[in-house]
Chains A and B, each alone.
Chain A
Amino acid sequence: MVLSANDKTNVKGVFSKISSHAEEYGAETLERMFTTYPQTKTYFPHFDLHHGSAQVKAHGKKVAAALIEAANHIDDIAGALSKLSDLHAQKLRVDPVNFKLLGQCFLVVMAIHHPSALTPEVHASLDKFLCAVGNVLTSKYR
């Protein structure tokens, strides 16, 4: 699966649109993931996961920053996220299936806040991008 020139344009377009809300959307993505897929909470036993949790906000900000970084270096996502990839492989070891769940929730957040921006073509590009990010983060698992 390769990101076409159109995909890259679409993804960059989305992220430039949401840059001022990135942290908020990151937190909302996580909250939705924890609510919709409770098994994802098992990776955060040390967190307060109640609505409005400061830890979830902070973590949402990190997740959003990583996605922005990937979008800004969309020609070399593996390079941009190399350290995060190491972290996930060696320390976090989040099961690969969970990146799809996070991706779904991120798309829902986009759909809610920017429905007109999430045309079918942009939806497709974003979905591909999120898959690519997930692949990079799990690429060193074995």
Chain B
Amino acid sequence: MVHWSAEEKQLIASVWSKVNVEECGAEALARLLIVYPWTQRFFDNFGNLSSPTAIIGNPKVRAHGKKVLTSFGEAVKNLENLKATYAKLSELHCEKLHVDPENFRLLGNILIIVLATHFNKDFTPACQATWQKLVGVVAHALAYKYH
């Protein structure tokens, strides 16, 4: 089980309270698809992903980004119990969606960059470290049920 210090919990909560889940989620997913174009392989039915402009404006990308980041909110609420929180999603990503867990790490890193653009200097090294730890354990929890 992952241990979270009081400081880490505070850094997570304070950042999350200021996150616009819809905007950040949309931006994170769009950047994932732009920066790592091979990740588009999972989204054949999303329509036009032919350019960064198309991706950023794509309503399915926005909606799915919001969905993904909303789910991330569950992690923030259940820091002590991430494996259980993501057990069903993990099975889904393995058995139905067939997503290589490496993609969770890529998205996690992208989310960090998006947070950094929004929080600027408030995204201190300690804040970054805590959030990199969080995205890492979420990625691990999402990969946990893979078989």
Q: Count the A-B residue pairs with Cβ separation under 8 angstroms: how many?
A: 57
Task: For the complex, give the distance between the alpha carbons of A31 and B128 in Å.
Answer: 11
CA distance A32 to B126 in the complex (A): 8
Q: Does A35 contact B (CB under 8 A)?
A: yes
Taken together as a complex, chains A and B put the C-alpha atoms of A127 and B113 apart, in Å, by 11
Separation of A32 and B124 alpha carbons in the complex (Å): 8
Residues of chain A within 8 A (CB-CB) of B120 are 112-113, 115
Give every chain B residue within 8 A of A105 (Cβ-Cβ): 128
Q: How far is the CA of A64 from the CA of B31 in the complex (A)?
A: 25
Q: How many residues of B contact A (CB 8 A)?
A: 23
Structural contact, B34 and A32, CB atoms closer than 8 A: no
Query: By the criterion of a CB under 8 Å from any partner CB, how many residues of chain A are at the interface?
Result: 20
Residues in chain A within 8 A of chain B (CB atoms): 31-32, 35-37, 104-105, 107-108, 111-113, 115, 118-121, 123-124, 127
Residues of chain B touching chain A, judged by Cβ–Cβ distance below 8 Å, are 30-31, 34-35, 52, 55-56, 109, 112-114, 116-121, 123, 125-126, 128-129, 132
